[in-house]
């Protein structure tokens, strides 16, 4: 990418567009009673996804942007799991019939912070309350530093077939600067334990733009990770927002790369992964050619949700736990963020929803355009606008952001069909933002465009 374009666009703070509208648009006008009505209206024959948030870790990684709590004791985790089970009961009691579940994702925090028997009991409860498809995919996020064989075995017994392992960087200088010491040996031991347990798809999370990272250290990390043969990689840019996440103040801002340095690091990782046979998926994922993500991209069936790029096409997402976000055909809902408030609400027998967003028809159109841009790096605006009952000129005429991107050679527009040029891949979020009606109201909490 040309340095002038990186300088012009790279410092802008833009959403990752895992949803549209994004979370800053959520309002307390959507509450527990709204959510109860939405749950009752879910068509039982439609497939659904479940997300369970486990907001606990043993130590704080200073780069972390997740909602999590640090605890060295097990009792807070046990108490939280009691409330999680109660919430599952509250939700399942409000559906017309047991929801047909296609996907389950355990996120955090560190979901594997619970004991093996607790993981087995929790997944058994989900299967009891919901109708799991025979092909249902269960995925879990894992901190390799704390995974033991007993837990890996339990994951296999619970039906987990996909695991996402946090790696970030193997550079010891970077690890010290982000308070996450994790050796290659620890990571490989976790991979071996999961493979032995039958978890047959493994994803590694890498991050660029961390303090003291260099192009060379990014390449070394990618090469070490490749030797462990995961099926997928997710490669994220570090979002430094200390005003939003106070612990990020512990990171030395002077040790962070500028936009040009971040792009160079990201491109170095991408080139290393591609040379090893992984295919580039969307903005920041990579997968083996025979992986479901790669196949979905080729067939135009790639989607994007709160976990990033996915093959999950479900319109209904039920979120469980503190801060969990869900979606129904009506829009988005989010639970209480502090675990204590979440637990008290559930203990009182009430759904924990405190805010959300009701989608308009125009929101649905803009969401569809943004998703196709993020997944395909191109979109037929007239086709989608017509399908949603809108005049495409409403989106194209007078769109100054889009015109500037075209003028700068980042994308091409022909008869309303937009196609990002290869050199502008890292500015796809800027193209998506050209269709975001609310972008000027929510930029403060987002990550840099490059």
Phi, psi at residue 44, to the nearest 5°?
-65, -25
Q: 141 a known binding residue?
A: yes
Q: 38 a known binding residue?
A: no
Q: Which residues neighbour 112 within 8 Å (Cβ) at sequence distance 6 or greater?
A: 119, 140, 142, 143, 146, 147, 151, 155
Per-residue tokens: 420: 């990002």
Q: Where are the beta strands (DSSP E) in 387-440?
A: 411-414, 417-420
> CA 174, CA 363: separation in Å to the nearest integer?
40
Q: 2 a known binding residue?
A: no
Q: 400 a known binding residue?
A: no
Q: 297 a known binding residue?
A: no
Q: 110 a known binding residue?
A: yes
Q: 57 a known binding residue?
A: yes
Q: Which residue is associated with the tokens 């971040």?
A: 262
Q: 66 a known binding residue?
A: no
Q: Which residue is associated with the tokens 């130590």?
A: 59
Q: 64 a known binding residue?
A: yes
Q: 168 a known binding residue?
A: yes
> CA 65, CA 49: separation in Å to the nearest integer?
23
Report which secondary-structure segment, H or E, holds 194. Answer: helix 184-197
Q: 304 a known binding residue?
A: no
Q: Which residue is associated with the tokens 């995974």?
A: 147
The neighbour count for residue 64, using CB atoms within 10 Å, is: 17
Q: Strand 285-287's sheet: what is its strand order?
A: 279-281, 285-287, 232-237, 201-208, 160-168, 131-142, 100-108, 47-54, 316-320, 325-328, 331-335, 353-358
Q: 157 a known binding residue?
A: no
> CA 103, CA 132: separation in Å to the nearest integer?
9
* Alpha helix (H) residue ranges in 146-183: 149-158, 172-178
Nearest to 324 by CA among 353, 362, 350: 353
Q: Which residues neighbour 53 within 8 Å (Cβ) at sequence distance 6 or greater?
A: 67, 107, 108, 109, 319, 320, 321, 322, 323, 324
> CA 87, CA 233: separation in Å to the nearest integer?
32
In this structure, the strands spanning 69-70 and 56-57 are: parallel
Nearest to 55 by CA among 430, 324, 363, 302: 324
% helix, strand, coil for the chain, step of 5: 45, 25, 35
Q: 398 a known binding residue?
A: no
Binding site membership: which residues? 51, 57, 61, 63-65, 108-110, 141, 168, 180, 205, 239, 325
Binding site membership for S-adenosyl-L-methionine: which residues? 51, 63-65, 108-110, 141, 168, 180, 205, 239, 325
Binding site membership for [4Fe-4S] cluster: which residues? 57, 61, 64
């Amino acid at each position: 990418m040309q340095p002038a374009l990186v300088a012009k666009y790279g410092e802008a703070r833009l959403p990752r567009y895992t949803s549209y509208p994004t979370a800053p648009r959520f309002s307390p006008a959507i509450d527990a009673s709204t959510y109860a009505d939405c749950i009752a209206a879910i068509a039982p024959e439609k497939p659904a996804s479940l997300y369970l948030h486990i907001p606990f870790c043993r130590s704080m990684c200073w780069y972390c942007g997740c909602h999590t709590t640090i605890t060295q004791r097990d009792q807070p985790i046990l108490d939280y799991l009691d409330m999680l089970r109660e919430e599952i009961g509250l939700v399942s009691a409000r559906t017309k019939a047991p929801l047909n579940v296609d996907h389950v994702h355990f996120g955090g925090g560190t979901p594997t912070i619970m004991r093996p028997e607790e993981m087995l009991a929790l997944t058994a409860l989900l299967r009891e309350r919901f109708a799991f498809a025979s092909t249902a995919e269960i995925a879990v996020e894992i901190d390799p530093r704390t995974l033991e064989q007993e837990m890996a075995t339990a994951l296999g017994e619970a039906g987990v077939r996909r695991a996402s392992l946090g790696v970030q960087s193997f550079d010891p200088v970077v690890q010290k600067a982000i308070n996450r010491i994790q050796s290659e040996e620890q990571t490989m031991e976790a991979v071996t334990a999961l493979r032995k347990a039958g978890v047959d798809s493994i994803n590694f999370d890498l991050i660029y733009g961390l303090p003291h990272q260099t192009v060379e250290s990014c390449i070394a990390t990618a090469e070490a990770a490749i030797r462990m043969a995961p099926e997928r990689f997710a490669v994220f840019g570090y979002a430094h927002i200390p005003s939003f996440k106070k612990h990020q103040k512990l990171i030395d801002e002077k040790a962070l790369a500028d936009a040009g340095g971040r792009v160079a690091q990201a491109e170095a990782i991408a080139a290393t992964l591609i040379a090893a046979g992984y295919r580039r998926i969307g903005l920041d994922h990579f997968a083996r050619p025979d992986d479901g993500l790669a196949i979905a991209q080729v067939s135009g069936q790639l989607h994007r949700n709160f976990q990033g790029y996915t093959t999950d096409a479900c319109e209904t997402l039920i979120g469980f736990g503190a801060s969990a976000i869900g979606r129904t055909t009506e829009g988005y809902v989010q639970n209480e963020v502090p675990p204590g408030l979440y637990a008290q609400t559930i203990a009182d027998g009430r759904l924990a929803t405190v805010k959300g967003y009701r989608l308009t028809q125009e929101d649905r159109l803009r969401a569809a355009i943004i998703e196709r841009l993020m997944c395909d790096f191109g979109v037929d605006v007239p086709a989608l606008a017509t399908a949603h009952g809108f005049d495409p000129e409403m989106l194209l005429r007078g769109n100054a952001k889009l015109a500037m991107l075209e003028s700068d050679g980042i994308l091409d527009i022909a008869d309303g069909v937009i196609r990002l040029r290869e050199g502008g891949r890292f500015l796809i979020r800027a193209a998506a933002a050209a269709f975001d009606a609310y972008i000027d109201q929510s930029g403060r909490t987002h990550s840099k465009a490059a």
